[in-house]
Amino acid sequence: MSTARAGTDVANVLFAADDRRWAEYEGLLIAACQRAGVDIHLARDLPPDAVDYVVYAPNSPLQDFTPFTRLKAVLNLWAGVEDVVHNATLTAPLCRMVEPGMTRGMVEWVTGHVLRHHLGMDGHVMGQDGVWRTDVPPLAHQRRVGMLGLGELGTACARALAGLGFDVAGWARSAKEIEGVDTHAGPDGLKKVLSRSDIVVLLVPLTPETESLINADTLATMPQGTVLMNPGRGGLIDDMALLKALDSGHLTHATLDAFRVEPLPVDHPYWSHPRVTVTPHIASATRKETASEAIAENIRRGEAGEAFVNVVDRERAY
């Protein structure tokens, strides 16, 4: 076991993630903390009662936080916290990952696939059959996009799509205001957004309230011919209900990046369905360079007695 460093100006940081991430992050985290003016001792094995911060991947073997008696915060490496937020042994603040690289990656994936469906690009890419088709797509302002989830990522994507001229409506559990976006909240707001959208994008967090948010009832609310995109969480979708909506032609396509089981099993019907595009959870990923800066900033805040940023609301679970 690594020995914790003593001293009032040294923060002991436990890195609780796999070998690959340790190799990627060790030098970057130390350098980022140095730039932030924070002296840290970073290790993978520290006495629990000496740990000030845990840099954490929820699939880490560390699941019992009870021995960490001086813990100031757990700093999640991922945006999703559904695998740790309900851990009753964790009483210190839990901070989810929000960093500009992740946000930029999500904006690029969402705008790219919205434009793909808006322009009907699949028909040209897959239809090189010698037939001269002259169907002209509508302009962006004639295409209605519904953004479900208006957190950091959803808001950034909604703004980007509105900036391209799309008619964007957004929904969140609580009221939000975003310039250029028609925002709604609550159950009635969800129905309004779904019923007026040609393309629906899922970026809500996965909580008990949003589990299977897209189900037979909400799918029936969408107009005939809607395209569904899910770069959020696999548990947001009732898979059987979605497959039925695709088979019936009520939805024309689903572009999916997140799934209940990952990697997606080779025999899952999504792989072979002609109206489904599978991308292997690549819509957005934590970028280690900018993520290290975000972690260092929260450690700096903790050592300076300032409030942490991106703290998870345990009752809302995000």
Catalytic residues: 233, 281
What is the spatial distance between Cα 254 and Cα 233, in angstroms, rounded to a whole number? 14
Contact predicate 260/235, CB 8 Å: yes
Q: How many CB atoms lie within 10 A of CB 146?
A: 27
Amino acid at 231: P
> Which tokens belong to 228?
């569904």
In terms of C-beta density within 10 A (0-12 exposed, 13-18 middle, 19 or more buried), how is residue 223 classed?
middle
169's enclosing H/E stretch is: strand 167-172
Q: Which residue type, as a one-letter code, is found at position 94?
A: L
Query: How are beta strands 53-56 and 73-76 bridged, if at all?
Result: parallel
Q: Would you say 89 and 65 are in contact if contact means Cβ atoms under 8 Å apart?
A: yes
Nearest to 171 by CA among 143, 144, 151: 151
User: For residue 139, what are its two tokens?
Assistant: 């302009």
- CA dihedral in degrees (86, 92, 95, 96; nearest 10)? -20
